Amino acid sequence: MSTQATSQRPRMSRRRTQAASRTDKNVVMASHGRAPWYGPDGKNIEAYVIGIAGGSASGKTSVARAILSALNYIPTVLILSQDSFYCAHTPEEVERAFRNELDLDHPDSIDMTLFARCVRDLKQGRATEIPVYSFVHHQRMPEKKYIYGASVIIVEGIMALQSEELRRLYDLKVFVNCDSDLMLARRIIRDTKERGRDVEGILDQYLRFVKSSYDNFVQPSSRYADIIVPGFSNQVAIELLVTHIKGQIDSRSLRFRNVLARMGQEEGDKAKAKSTCPTEEFQDHNLVLLEQTNQLLGIMTILRDEETERGDFIFYTDRLATLVVEKALTLTPFQPTTITTPLGVEYHGMAPTTDPLVGVSILRSGGPFSYGLRRVIRDVQIGAMLIQSDPKTGEPLLLSSDLPQCIKSRQESECVRVLLLDSQMGTGAAAMMAIRVLLDHGIPQPNIILLTFLVARQGLHSLHRVFPQVRIVTAAVDQDLHEAQVPLHSPVMGEAIGEADLAVHLVNEVSSSERTSEYDLVGHLVNELSNSERTSEGEEETTIVESDMNEMNGMNDMDERDGRDEMDDNVLKLEQTEFRIQRSKVMEDLKFSRKHKNERGISPTLKRAWVVSPGMGHIGFVFLDVEV
Ligand SMILES: Nc1ncnc2c1ncn2[C@@H]1O[C@H](COP(=O)(O)OP(=O)(O)O)[C@@H](O)[C@H]1O
Ligand SMILES: Nc1ccn([C@@H]2O[C@H](COP(=O)(O)O)[C@@H](O)[C@H]2O)c(=O)n1
C-alpha cells in the first residue's frame, strides 16, 4: 500500500494555508490585559496547566478549544500542541516518512525532554521558544516560535500523559476517549484536507503504526487521567470540566496594589525612624539620586509648576531625560580599549562591553525617555510595554509588549542589560510588572536599571523589598503618596487614572500621523499586534495575537449606541472555530467614559488613584496634548 514519495510531496493547498491562519494552537489568546501573575513578593504564581491526551483525531484539539472558549473571561489562555515537538529527522527518515515507513506514533518520536522544559517554563511564567514542525515536509523547521504570558495552558497531544515528568506539571489530566473507527474516519478527512495526504497513504500509515501505538501507548495512558471525556456528544462532560477549572482559576485571582502601597508606607516609616538624614533612608536601596544641584532643582521647579506651558514642559523633560540617561550609563560596564589617533598614536581608552544594552519604555509615560536615550546612544534598540491600570480594580494590566529580539532569545537574554524607562513611580506596581516581564525573559535583576524622573519614597521601599538588586536612577524622591478620588480624565499624576484613555489616544495618534520615536514605537506595536504573524505555507504553527491594541485601533469610529448593544458587538467571533472571545471589559469602560466625556465635556466617572505628591503632573498627557 505504500505510496511514492513524490505523489505526496507537493500538495499543500491554499485551503491548508487558510486553515493554518485560523489555527489557534501555540498562540496566547489575550482577550484583555494580563493582570498580575505574581504575588506582592514579586514571585510568579504558576499558570494552571491542563494536559489532554487521546488518540489521533479523537477530538483533543476540539475539547481544548471548547475549554478556551468557555474561559473567555480569562485574559491569557494558550493551547500548546505536542505536534510541534516531533523530533528533527534525518534526510533518510524524511524519505521514509513520505513512504509511510517512519514510525511517528512511538513515544520516542516526540522530543519529550524539550516538551517538558517548555511546559515547565510556561507554567512558571517564563518566556519560551518552541520548535515549529511541518506535517507537509515531515520535518522540524529552522525557525522557533516565541511564547510568553499565559495564565492557563492547555497542553494536548497523543502522548501528553505519557511521561511522568510531564504528568507532574499538570493540574488536571484529561483523556479523550473515542471509537477507533470514528478516529480513523476523521483522520482521513483531516489529513487529506489539511496535511496534504492521500487516502491510501493514510491507511498504510494507520495499519503500520497508528493503530498499534494507540493500543500499546495512548489508550493505556488513560489510567493517569483525572477525567475521561468522550470524543463525541461531549457537551455535558466539557461543561463539568470547565466548571471545575473556573473554580480553580478564580481562587488564584490577585489584587494587591493597596497592599503594596501600605507595605511601602510601613517600611518607609521604619527606615525613616532609623535614619538621621533623608538620603540615609535609601542608602542600601540601589538608588542613584541625581546630584541636587541648583541647575537640577531649577529644572524640577519648572516641571512641577502647574503654570508651565506645554512647550517648556517638553523641553525641560527632554533635558532631564538626558541627565538621567547619562547618569544611568555610568552604571553600565565599560572595558579598557586601545585605539590609534589620526596622529598614529595609541590611545588607551574605554568602550562599552559587548553585552547588548537596550531600552524598554513603559508606555505611556516612558516615552520622553526614549528621546533622551536615543540622543545619548544613537542606535540603541528600544522596546515597549503597554501597562495601564484596570479602571475597576486599579491593578496594573499588561496590555502588550514588544521587546527587542535579544530579550526574547533565551540564548542572549542572560547577558542583556536593560534601561527600563518610566517617567514616575508611585506605588511601584507598574514598574514591578515591567521588571517581572524582564525577569520572565531571563534578564538578571542586576542587569536592570530603572530610569525615572520622580519616585514616591513608598514605591522605592516596595520595589526594593521585592527586587532588591534592581537599580533605580532618579532626579527626585517625593515624600507623599496617597489614594484619591479623581476624575477619569484628571491630569493628576497617578498610576491609575486616564491611562487607558491615553493608550487609546496614543494609538489613534499613530494611525493618523507619521511620527517619530515614541509614536513609531507605539505604531510598531500596533502593527505587530494587529497583523497575524504567519509562518510559511503549510506549517502547523501560526501566531495570532488578539489584543486590546487591535480593539483600540478600531475604536476611532465608536458609536453612541447604548452600552448593552456595544457589549454584544464586542464579542469577537473567530472565523470558523466559533470561539467567542469577549472584548475587553476595560475597553468597554473606556468607550463609556469617552462617550460621556464627548457629550458633557468631562467624564463623570471618578476613579481611585494613587497620587505622588508634590508631583509634577501627568507627563503622558502633557506630551501628547490630551484634552483634559
Ligand atoms: N465532539 C465532536 N463531535 C463531532 N466532531 C468532532 C468532535 N470532536 C472532534 N470532531 C472532529 O474530529 C476531527 C478531529 O478532531 P481534533 O479535535 O482535531 O482531533 P485531535 O486533536 O485529537 O487530533 C475534526 O475534524 C473535528 O471537527
Ligand atoms: N510527520 C508526521 C508527524 C506525525 N504524524 C501523525 O500525527 C498524529 C498525531 O497528531 P494528531 O493531531 O492527530 O494528534 C500521529 O498519529 C502521527 O501519525 C504524521 O502523520 N506525520
Q: Is 210 in the pocket of ligand 2 (CB under 6 A)?
A: yes
- Of 250, 285, 301, the residue at which a domain comes to its end is 250
Amino acid in position 598: N
Ligand 2 atom 1: the closest Cα is on which residue?
Answer: 138
467 occurs within a structural domain = yes
Phi and psi angles of residue 124, each rounded to the nearest 5 degrees, phi first: -85, 10
Q: If 0-12 CB within 10 Å is exposed, 13-18 middle and 19+ buried, where does residue 565 land?
A: exposed
With residue 454 as reference, give the H or E element that holds it: strand 448-456
Same structural domain, 295 and 168: no
Q: Which residues line ligand 1 (CB under 6 A)?
A: 54, 56-62, 186, 190, 231-232, 234
605 occurs within a structural domain = no
Rama region for 155: left / alpha / beta (φ>0; ψ in -120 to 50; rest): beta
pLDDT at residue 475, rounded to an integer = 96
Q: Is 105 in the pocket of ligand 2 (CB under 6 A)?
A: yes
Same structural domain, 236 and 318: no
Domain residues for the domain of 91 are: 5-250
Q: Is 56 in the pocket of ligand 2 (CB under 6 A)?
A: yes
Residues in the chain: 628
Same structural domain, 385 and 289: yes
- Of 213, 228, 250, the residue at which a domain comes to its end is 250
pLDDT at residue 262, rounded to an integer = 74
Three-state SS at 82: helix
Distance CA 383, CA 359 (A): 6
User: Nearest ligand, CA of residue 206?
Assistant: 2
- What is the tally of structural domains in the chain? 2
pLDDT at residue 5, rounded to an integer = 32
pTM of the predicted model, to two decimals?
Answer: 0.78
Which CATH number characterizes residue 221's domain?
3.40.50.300
344 occurs within a structural domain = no
Q: How far is the CA of 532 from the centre of ligand 1 (A)?
A: 25
CA distances in angstroms from 334 to 93, 305, 338, 341, listed in the order given = 50, 38, 13, 20
Ligand 2 atom 13: the closest Cα is on which residue?
Answer: 56
pLDDT at residue 27, rounded to an integer = 76
Same structural domain, 224 and 280: no
pLDDT at residue 259, rounded to an integer = 73
Same structural domain, 26 and 126: yes
- Of 250, 271, 306, the residue at which a domain comes to its end is 250
pLDDT at residue 274, rounded to an integer = 74
Ligand 1 mutation pick, 26, 62, 236, max ligand atoms within 8 A of CB: 62
Helix axes 310-329, 367-376, angle to 10 degrees: 50
Q: Please give the grid coordinates belonging to residue 80.
A: 500548546
Q: Is 102 in the pocket of ligand 2 (CB under 6 A)?
A: no
pLDDT at residue 545, rounded to an integer = 29
Same structural domain, 114 and 142: yes
Q: How many CB atoms sit inside 10 A of residue 107's CB?
A: 15
Ligand 2 atom 6: the closest Cα is on which residue?
Answer: 104
Q: Is 199:192 a contact under the CB 8 Å cutoff?
A: yes
pLDDT at residue 531, rounded to an integer = 38
Same structural domain, 98 and 204: yes
348 occurs within a structural domain = no
Q: How far is the CA of 103 from the centre of ligand 2 (A)?
A: 10
Mean pLDDT by 10 residues, the chain (628 residues): 33 33 63 80 92 97 92 81 96 96 96 97 95 95 93 95 96 96 96 92 96 97 97 93 85 67 76 71 83 96 89 89 95 96 97 94 76 88 87 78 92 95 90 97 97 92 94 94 62 34 36 37 39 31 28 28 29 26 38 48 57 73 41
Q: Please give the grid coordinates belonging to residue 130.
A: 518552541
282 occurs within a structural domain = yes
Place of cell 514605537: 521
Strand partners, 392: none
Q: Is 158 in the pocket of ligand 2 (CB under 6 A)?
A: yes
Ligand 2 atom 15: the closest Cα is on which residue?
Answer: 105
Distance CA 176, CA 59 (A): 7
Q: Is 388:399 a contact under the CB 8 Å cutoff?
A: yes
Ligand 2 atom 9: the closest Cα is on which residue?
Answer: 56
Q: Is 288:332 a contact under the CB 8 Å cutoff?
A: no
Q: How many CB atoms sit inside 10 A of residue 183's CB?
A: 22
Closest atom, ligand 2, to C-alpha of 139: 1
pLDDT at residue 496, rounded to an integer = 32
Same structural domain, 242 and 305: no
Q: How far is the CA of 582 from the centre of ligand 2 (A)?
A: 33
Ligand 2 atom 14: the closest Cα is on which residue?
Answer: 56
Under 8 Å CB-to-CB from 181, ≥6 apart: which residues?
A: none
Q: How far is the CA of 584 from the centre of ligand 1 (A)?
A: 29
Which CATH number characterizes residue 300's domain?
3.40.50.2020
Q: What does 465-492 look like in DSSP terms, one character per residue?
A: HH-TT-EEEEEEEESEEEEEEEETT--S
Same structural domain, 105 and 156: yes
Q: Is 371:359 a contact under the CB 8 Å cutoff?
A: no
Under 8 Å CB-to-CB from 269, ≥6 apart: which residues?
A: none
Q: How many CB atoms sit inside 10 A of residue 509's CB?
A: 17
Q: How far is the CA of 63 from the centre of ligand 1 (A)?
A: 8
Closest atom, ligand 2, to C-alpha of 209: 18
Q: Is 175:101 a contact under the CB 8 Å cutoff?
A: no
Q: How far is the CA of 541 from the centre of ligand 1 (A)?
A: 18
Same structural domain, 220 and 261: no
Ligand 2 atom 11: the closest Cα is on which residue?
Answer: 56
590 occurs within a structural domain = no
Same structural domain, 245 and 262: no
Query: Which ipTM was obtained for this model?
Result: 0.97
581 occurs within a structural domain = no
Q: Is 597 in the pocket of ligand 2 (CB under 6 A)?
A: no
User: Nearest ligand, CA of residue 230?
Assistant: 1
Under 8 Å CB-to-CB from 119, ≥6 apart: which residues?
A: 49, 80, 153, 155, 166, 169
pLDDT at residue 160, rounded to an integer = 98
193 occurs within a structural domain = yes
Same structural domain, 321 and 223: no
b/e per residue 41-62 (b: at least 16 CB within 10 A)? ebebebbbbbbbbbbbbbbbbb
Q: How far is the CA of 195 from the centre of ligand 2 (A)?
A: 9
**Sequence-ordered strand ranges (E) for 364-504:** 381-389, 396-402, 417-421, 424-425, 448-456, 471-478, 480-487
Q: Please give the grid coordinates belonging to residue 547.
A: 489584543
Distance CA 63, CA 51 (A): 11
Q: Is 81:25 a contact under the CB 8 Å cutoff?
A: yes
Q: Is 202:192 a contact under the CB 8 Å cutoff?
A: yes
